[in-house]
């Protein structure tokens, strides 16, 4: 147990041996810092909110007029893209959170963390969980707008969405942190991230159903990891809507591999596995480097 022996007026601190408890404290404080930073940075919160609201209200409303004249569907496009917008907003916030590692390096704070007598794994886990948590907080605000998109405020649905957002955000932060281990400047980090995120978003089924696509596009969407984060969320939303089976099938076709319907549970499992895998790589990179 760490005790302090008093020599004169000086409180001498004895730093304990490294232990799991110590590593957990490190995870907690790194996470805590992420939350503090996010809380102080109101602009980021507002900016993070603006984009999804634009998508939902402007694009959603604008495009639904097109829909109505077309297939005669009974589903509001806003409802359809709602899960996609949730995923998008979480994704951007998660990326920013991961980018803070690059910021920390540029401003020297990363060094303070890396020279501590604590495992690098604890620091990376703190960053990833912190990033995922912050992103989920942002997501909660979007979920609160469910009514605007015609999505019912069902507690079970909201909790499912929030849980799925957390898993997606965790995987994305893991990806971001892994990249941040190699990329040394903020500018290039965000350039690379932008480059990776735009196609991921467009190929994820966030904005259109994944059935009846030309085969090249179909293959690309199936290779896109984000697809498997968006689909369970859409599934959750649609299972709480009162729709004819045909409509539900048209707007929520799910993901198929060569005709085989991928179960939602497997999709969620894939996201978790990806998150853990990326986290593992990120930890290895930070262990090796510096």
Partner 1 sequence: MSMGDSAGDARASRRPDSAVVVAGLTKRFGDVEAVRGIDFTVASGEVFGFLGPNGAGKSTTINMLCTLMTPTSGSARVAGHDVIRERDEVRRNIGLVFQDPTLDGYLTGEQNLRFHAELYGVPKTVVAGRMRQVLEMVGLWDRRGDRVLAYSGGMKRRLEIARGLLHSPRVLFLDEPTVGLDPQTRKSIWDYIQQLRHNEDITIFMTTHYMEEAEYCDRIAIIDSGRIVALDTPQELKASVGKDRVQIETADDAAAISALKETFDVEAAVHDGAVTFSVPSGEEFVPRLFARLGVPIKSVSVSRPSLDDVFMSYTGTTIRDAEGSANDWMRMAFRTRR
User: Is residue 16 part of the contact set for partner 1 (CB under 8 A)?
Assistant: yes
How near is the Cβ of 182 to partner 1 at its closest, in Å?
19
DSSP-derived letter for residue 263 is P
Q: For residue 271, what are the contacts with CB-CB under 8 A and spacing of at least 6? A: 164, 167, 168, 171, 225, 228, 229, 232
Rounded Cα gap, residues 84 and 48, in angstroms = 15
How near is the Cβ of 130 to partner 1 at its closest, in Å?
13
Rounded Cα gap, residues 165 and 80, in angstroms = 17
CA atoms lying within 13 Å on the CB side of residue 191 = 6
- Smaller CB separation from partner 1, 15 or 223: 15
User: Is residue 13 part of the contact set for partner 1 (CB under 8 A)?
Assistant: yes
Element (H, E) at 107: none
How near is the Cβ of 51 to partner 1 at its closest, in Å?
23
Place of tokens 């969320």: 233
Which x/- pattern over 146-165 shows residues binding partner 1 (rule: CB under 8 A)?
--------------------
Q: Which stretch binds partner 1 (CB under 8 A): 8-16, 79-87, 133-141, 179-187?
A: 8-16
Pairing outcome for strands 260-261 and 256-257: antiparallel
How near is the Cβ of 281 to partner 1 at its closest, in Å?
23
Which of 111, 182, 184, 287 is the binder for partner 1 (CB under 8 A)? Answer: 111
User: Is residue 3 part of the contact set for partner 1 (CB under 8 A)?
Assistant: yes
Residue 228 structure tokens: 């498997």
Q: What residues between 18 and 77 interact with partner 1 by CB under 8 A? A: 18, 22, 25-26, 28-30, 33, 36-37, 40-41
Q: What residues between 80 and 109 interact with partner 1 by CB under 8 A? A: 104, 106-109
Residue in 220, 236, 123, 224 with CA at minimum distance from that of residue 171: 224
- Smaller CB separation from partner 1, 119 or 224: 119
How near is the Cβ of 4 to partner 1 at its closest, in Å?
5
Tell me the backbone φ, ψ of residue 262, rounded to 5 degrees.
Answer: -80, 120
Greatest alpha-carbon span in the chain:
84
- Residues engaged in binding partner 1 (CB under 8 A): 1-4, 7-16, 18, 22, 25-26, 28-30, 33, 36-37, 40-41, 104, 106-109, 111-113, 115-118, 290
């Amino acid at each position: 147990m760490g005790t302090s022996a008093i020599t004169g007026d000086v409180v001498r601190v004895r730093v304990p041996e490294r232990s799991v408890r110590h590593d957990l404290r490190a995870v907690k404080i790194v996470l805590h810092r992420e939350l503090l930073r996010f809380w102080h940075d109101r602009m980021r919160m507002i900016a993070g909110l603006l984009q999804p609201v634009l998508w939902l209200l402007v694009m959603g409303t604008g495009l639904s007029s097109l829909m109505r004249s077309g297939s005669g569907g009974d589903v509001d496009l806003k409802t359809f893209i709602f899960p996609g917008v949730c995923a998008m907003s979480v994704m951007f916030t998660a990326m920013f959170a991961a980018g803070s590692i690059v910021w920390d390096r540029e401003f020297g704070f990363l060094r303070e963390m890396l020279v501590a007598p604590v495992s690098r794994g604890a620091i990376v886990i703190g960053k990833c969980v912190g990033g995922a948590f912050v992103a989920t907080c942002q997501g909660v605000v979007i979920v609160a707008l469910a009514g605007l998109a015609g999505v019912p405020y069902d507690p079970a649905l909201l909790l499912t969405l929030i849980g799925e957002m957390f898993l997606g955000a965790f995987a994305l932060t893991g990806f971001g942190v892994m990249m941040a281990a190699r990329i040394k400047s903020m500018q290039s980090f965000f350039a690379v991230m932008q480059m990776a995120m735009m196609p991921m978003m467009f190929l994820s089924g966030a904005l259109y159903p994944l059935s009846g696509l030309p085969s090249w596009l179909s293959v690309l969407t199936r290779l896109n990891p984000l697809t498997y984060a968006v689909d369970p969320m859409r599934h959750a939303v649609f299972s709480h809507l009162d729709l004819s089976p045909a409509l539900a099938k048209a707007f929520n076709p799910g993901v198929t591999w060569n005709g085989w319907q991928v179960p939602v549970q497997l999709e969620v499992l894939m996201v978790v596995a990806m998150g853990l895998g990326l986290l593992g790589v990120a930890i290895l990179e930070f262990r090796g480097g510096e």
